[in-house]
Amino acid sequence: MHQRLTLLGATGSIGDSTLDLVARHPEDFSVFALTAHHNIDKLYRQCLAFQPAVAVVANADGASRLSARLKALGQHTEVLHGPQALMAVAAADECDTVVAAIVGGAGLASTLAAAQAGKRILLANKEALVMSGALFMASVAESKAQLLPVDSEHNAIFQCLSNHPEARPERLILTASGGPFLTRPLETLEDITPDQACAHPKWRMGRKISVDCATMMNKGREVIEAHWLFEMPPERIEVLIHPQSIVHSMVVYADQSVLAQLGNPDMRTPIAQALAYPRRMASGVEPLDLTGCEPLVFSKPDLRRFPCLRLALEVAHAGCELSVVLNAANEVAVAAFLAGALAFSDIARVVGQTLEQTAEVAIGSLEAIEDTDRRARARATQLSGLPPTRQ
């Protein structure tokens, strides 16, 4: 069946990979809407290439500039702006499938709107589950939306589980590359620069998520995601370091059979699997040459080296109520690090102190989640030594 896509976060790495696949299979996919925050130039080029009915940007100035450039070439894409427009294109009748790829808490409301509208959702936005797992999964169930994970680890688990739909797994194993500082001396971590933290050895990603991989906060948040996606208690979800990034995750069954999904580290593989599901389609990814791979190595993560992972695991095991605070504090701390205002080793300090200073958390509604998020960001901003931000 031909799918009409809304791509939330079109100008990031997930957007690039998705649009590469759309271009390879024009008979199967068309683009209804593309959205971006501030990368107007790239969104303009994408609009010319894929002719969406709607484009959405962050503010009126960006919308005016993009609209003028498109009209000058006779293009008829309608250009909108703001959070309400994001929610509208995510829930629009003209859209069948929503690729949720906005980074950070900014993507929560639009991804939740897609769930409430009963869309087929290709989920790359971690915050939908980290910040609002119970609310989001309830919306998916109530609207009968179809939720397909795009993160390589969760997509790998999904593929392994699909082969045995009647068998409940005993454990899930999430693999992690360990990032660029896996063997760096601990006493030098405070000297890490933003460019060094963003130089991931295996994956090409945006700067924020690259830092999350370097601290392994990303993997801790993926444990929380896996808990919600697969109804698995956090104590039965294990993290293993696997620097080669060939085995993307594993599932362990009661008979101790271990199923793994392997592939080259290229996000087009999980995106193609989700776009085509339950079929398969060509992705353009290079075939995996098992004879040419370096030896596959696995080890347990050192939580002294990765204190952000320790904090995320503690939140997961505590019941995930504090995951909104964890996410908000991390976003603030990473932004401060990337701006040169915070040391790499202080990211975990800011997150930990923000969690310690949180008395209670209410996450029963989107409004409550957003209020908790705002308060956590304010605390983390203060702890980072940054000036207060306007609300």
pLDDT, average across residues 269-298: 96
Asked which of 12-16, 163-167, 273-277, 280-284 is least confident by mean pLDDT, the reply is 163-167
pLDDT digits (tens, 9 = 90+) for 217-235: 999 999 999 999 999 999 9
pLDDT at 389 over 70: no
Whether the per-residue pLDDT at 386 is higher than 80: the answer is no
Longest dimension (CA), the chain: 64
The pLDDT value given to residue 391: 47
The pair of structure tokens assigned to 252 is 């362990």
What pLDDT does residue 390 have? 54
Residue ranges, CATH 3.40.50.720, the chain: 3-149
Distances from the Cα of 88 to the Cα of 32, 54, 112, 170, angstroms: 12, 10, 11, 40
The pLDDT of 94-117, averaged and rounded, is 95
Residue 360, pLDDT > 80, answer no
The DSSP bridge partners found for residue 146 are 120
Distance between CA 19 and CA 24 in Å, rounded?
9
Over range 132-139, report the average pLDDT: 95
**Residue 269 confidence (pLDDT):** 97
Residue 286's pLDDT is what?
A: 96
pLDDT in tens, 17-71: 999 999 999 999 999 999 999 999 999 999 999 999 999 999 999 999 999 999 9
pLDDT exceeds 90 at position 163: no
State whether the Cα torsion 280-91-366-347 is positive or negative.
positive
The domain 3-149 is classified under which CATH number: 3.40.50.300, 3.40.50.1820, 3.40.50.720, 3.20.10.10? 3.40.50.720
Would you state the pLDDT for residue 77? 97
Q: Name the average pLDDT for the chain.
A: 94
Give the pTM: 0.93
